[in-house]
A and B are shown apart, each in its own frame.
Chain A
Amino acid sequence: MTKSSLGKVDGREIKKFLLSKSVLIVLILFAAVMGFIYPEFLSFSNISNMLQDISMYGVAACGMTILIIGGDFDLSASSQYAWAMILCISMTSIVGPVAAMLITLISGIVLGIVNGLLVAKVNLNSFTATLGTQLVIRGLCLAYTGGQMINTQNETFTAIGNYKLLGFSSLTYVYFITIVVVSFVLYKTRFGRNLYAVGGNAQVAKFAGINTSLTKIAGFACMGLLCAIAGLMFVAQMRAGSVLYGTDLTMSCVAATVIGGTSLSGGSGNVVRTLIGMILINVLYKALIFLGLSSYLQDMTKGIVVILVVVFDYFTSSIGRRTKSVTV
């Protein structure tokens, strides 16, 4: 029985399966080769460090994935990230750490809703709207701090940032909990399913009775909340905040999402793919450091990988997915 069913599996099916997991396969092969050359590359401490490194950007990348699935985009992510750090630190000295964190989370949701209103209600292109809010939020942060770094010595943040369980940092756990929660929201809730529909074809979704503007606003609110959480994680680890931190956050998140295989045209993708994309970028970086390449070459490799992945994705999508009727 098993033999005959195995015999029926044609090459095309296997190819399709392999291509759908191509990024994961590349990651595993790459890590195996690096581990073979440098055994310490696969050591527990290196892995747990790496997971801690990617956790802050990773949480923001979850938000970016939500938005990209919904067919939108947020350029203001790095500004929101800096805003969260600065607000949290300055509030801590006034109302204490717990209240400060709550205020930061709420402000994150509010910023997200403002972006969402501009996109869904004023009907602006998400790129232009968030280009504007990016400058406004950054301007507010700069005007408040005068461009200086601010810091806090509060023990609560030290305790959270230094907490370790089973050798993994608390930040890693926050990242994994975020992935589980966001995956649940995307797959099991009405909002999540609506988001895929809106990203796939907003017009059709509207005719099907989905409140598209509410879905978009909720997507932006999630993004704002997750950026605020990422900012709080940074504060917990570094106990400092400045607009200069995380300026590459937006594009790193987009890169991780795209490398993971979420299509920029919206309507498909998930956060686990983004996690794999995030890990792949980081493993690549670490590998280039191990190989002793200059930081410029590391940057260049990152750019080339982004381009190659998009090109590769195009050529494999004709096998992995249905092709569109007109391919111009």
Chain B
Amino acid sequence: MKSDMEKGVKKGLPGGVDFGAVLRTYGIVIGLMIIIVAAAVLEPTFLTKNNVLNILRNMIVTGLSALSMTYVFMLGMMDLSVGSIISLSGVVCVTLANKFVQTDAQDANTYPIILVAVLLGAVMGAVNGSIITLIKGRLGASFIITYGTQIVFSAIAMLYTGGNFIFGSYYKGTYAAFGKGLLPIWLFLVIAAMMQFILKSTKYGKSISFIGANRDCAYMSGLNVGKYIIITFIVSGICSALSGFYVTARIGSATPIQGNGYELNAIAACVVGGTSMQGGTGSVINTVIGVLVLTVLNNALNVLGIDSNSQLLFRGVIIILSVTLDMFNKKYAVKKG
């Protein structure tokens, strides 16, 4: 564990002057720059205002879940139910909106709907967290339990809609505003900043990092491990539910399968950002950069007219490259420390 701490200290130091250190510390940011420059040179429309805003807005869907996935990773766990929570919260939001937000006078009803989504996400997260705490589970248990709840939540979304696409009949006002313009981007940045602050500067953040680094030790120091696990999964549920709401605000409709696969996107974003799956270390800012890399790459490939089939390939390569880079970073830090 000592070496881990040393690594953390090493990472915190300023990069130094030699090129190798810069590359190791800011490799992912440099990669992002290269993608942006290459896309901008090859296709000038890439850097237009509309496209940039589009990238930022697209980023939020995966981004919100990825933020909370960072917390879950810090615990040394995983949440595979994220995608199903996005789907379920999305269909519930649109159904409620179809009932309660039908005229301009009912515009303020949007806020209770968001509250319902948050509560729904919290309940689903609490279910995940409670079961995992009940069996005193670690990575393996969190994996299989959230896989189980993923199936259950997605089946509930299917039953709720009968498997149908739900069209939002009134798509104006506040509800739609959450998916347009600069508002969602600002909100996302505020949430990200808040989560980074909580992670780095509060008792809760320090505790989950401690639990992730050495759970037995945390338990023996008197931390209520179960409580922190449940809270973390509740946070994960809430963020994913908000992401589900955001999708419906953006496109004005919902399907019970729209969140499928988002859990892997969120995990990929954390991994590309350099959060380790071993737990104990991680940063929300890095995750935001990770989400940005994946979204920019996706958009750049789209703008360049590369078909969606080959895009998977690029994404896979980026993931492997970034985790390999991260691994070499750590090896180097251990060697030097």
Contact = CB atoms under 8 A, between A and B. Distances in A.
Interface of A: 118, 122-125, 127-129, 131-140, 142-143, 146-147, 251, 254-255, 258, 263-265, 294, 296-297, 299-300, 302-304, 306-307, 310-311, 314-315, 326-328
B312 A142 contact: yes
Nearest to B307: A143
Contact of A310 (B138, B144, B154): B144
Contact of A303 (B155, B264, B331): B155
B50 interface: no
A179 B315 CA distance: 36
Contacts of B317: 132, 136
A300 B219 contact: no
Given A133-B320, A142-B309, A143-B310, A264 B148 contact: no
B301 to A, nearest CB: 11
A143 B331 CA distance: 35
Contact of B151 (A125, A139, A294, A299): A299
B316 A132 contact: yes
B136 A139 contact: no
Contact of B148 (A143, A147, A263, A307): A307
B48 to A, nearest CB: 28
Contacts of B155: 296-297, 299-300, 303
A154 B75 CA distance: 52
Given A128-B277, A135-B319, A327 B136 contact: yes
B313 A254 contact: no
Interface stretch (B92-100, B109-117, B156-164): B156-164
Grouping DSSP codes into helix (H, G, I), strand (E, B) and loop, the A interface class, with mixed when no group exceeds half, is helix
B278 interface: yes
A136 B316 contact: yes
Interface in B170-221: 215-216, 218-220
B136 A306 contact: no
Contact of A136 (B136, B320, B331): B320
Interface of B: 78, 131, 134-138, 140-141, 143-145, 147-152, 154-156, 158-159, 163, 215-216, 218-220, 225, 264, 267-268, 271, 276-278, 307, 309-317, 319-320, 323-324, 327, 331
Contact of A296 (B141, B147, B163, B277): B163
Grouping DSSP codes into helix (H, G, I), strand (E, B) and loop, the B interface class, with mixed when no group exceeds half, is helix
A133 B327 CA distance: 17
Nearest to B278: A125
A9 B216 CA distance: 37
A300 B256 CA distance: 14
Nearest to A264: B140
25 contacts: A122-B324, A125-B278, A127-B277, A128-B319, A129-B320, A131-B264, A131-B319, A132-B317, A134-B316, A135-B316, A139-B311, A139-B312, A139-B316, A143-B313, A254-B144, A255-B147, A264-B141, A299-B158, A300-B159, A303-B149, A303-B152, A306-B148, A307-B145, A310-B144, A311-B131
A291 to B, nearest CB: 16
A326 B158 contact: no
Contacts of A300: 151-152, 155-156, 159
A306 B135 contact: no
Contacts of B225: 328
Given A125-B278, A254-B144, A314-B135, A132 B323 contact: yes
A328 B136 contact: yes
Contacts of B264: 131
A310 B148 contact: yes
Contact of B316 (A124, A127, A133, A326): A133
B252 to A, nearest CB: 25
Contact of B135 (A122, A132, A251, A310): A310
Given A133-B316, A139-B310, A296 B324 contact: no
B323 to A, nearest CB: 5
A106 B138 CA distance: 36
Contacts of A138: 312, 316
A138 B314 CA distance: 11
Nearest to B142: A264
B320 A132 contact: yes
A136 B216 CA distance: 37
A264 B159 contact: no
Contacts of B219: 326, 328
The 8 closest A-B pairs by CB, nearest first: A139-B313, A135-B316, A264-B140, A303-B151, A139-B312, A142-B309, A136-B316, A300-B155
Contacts of B144: 254-255, 258, 264, 306, 310
A134 B138 CA distance: 24
A311 B135 contact: yes
